[in-house]
Amino acid sequence: MQGIVFKDRHDAGGRLAEKLSNLEGRDDVVVLGLPRGGLPVAYEVARALDAPLDLFLVRKLGVPGQPEFAMGAIAMGGVQVMNNDVIKMLNLRPADIEQVAAREGEEMERRNRIYRGDRPLPELRNKIVLLVDDGLATGATMRAAVTGLRSFQPAKIIVAVPTGAPEVCARLEVEADQVVCLSTPQPFEAVGAWYRDFSQTSDQEVCELLARDRQRRGEA
């Protein structure tokens, strides 16, 4: 299948918002981006739908020595989702997994302080929550986010991404209430392959987008 190549994350977010236009103007919708790369996408979705924007922190647990190869992920609320197939295949020891999880947990807390300061999460109970990222490769971080978000008792969890591996999007349909994926090319290869500009999103950009959204909604 031919995939869509997006100009950048903002372009992808604008196109994704068109697919979600049925939610525009509702007062029970909250958009949560997965930092860092998901925030520019989520910002455009929130702006187009006139919905509040925030973030939901999740960290990939990379295999020791191969940090880009996910063996699982952690999310806010102490949630940990592991890829048991990878753990068995590589014969990873519990001590190695715990070390990576502890390190990523510290990084998640650091980012929470930078991005949110002392601001709490918005009210999510009985809300329609859009979980937005820039793409789905293994789905580990998104699965952890969905699992973590369940504890906040939203009315509905919609996973929304511009691009994703077909089998990963299909698997997430079992865990989320709905999955919206604009493009599911095969072979997928990597998220960055479907963006002309896939430069790293900085902490500063995340903070600026959150501040810009609060300004849009008339908040301090």
DSSP class of residue 164?
B
Helix residue spans in the chain (DSSP H) = 9-19, 38-49, 84-89, 94-116, 140-150, 166-175, 203-216
Q: Is the pLDDT of residue 80 over 90?
A: no
Q: Is the pLDDT of residue 5 over 80?
A: yes
Model pLDDT, residue 140: 83
Dist CA 79 CA 87 (whole Å) = 18
Residue type, 98: E
The identity of residue 127, as a single letter, is K
CA 192 to chain centre: 15
pLDDT above 60: residue 1: no
Given a cut of 90, is residue 219 above it in pLDDT? no
Mean pLDDT rounded to a whole number for the chain: 92
Distance CA(30)–CA(96), nearest Å, equals 36
pLDDT of residue 178: 97
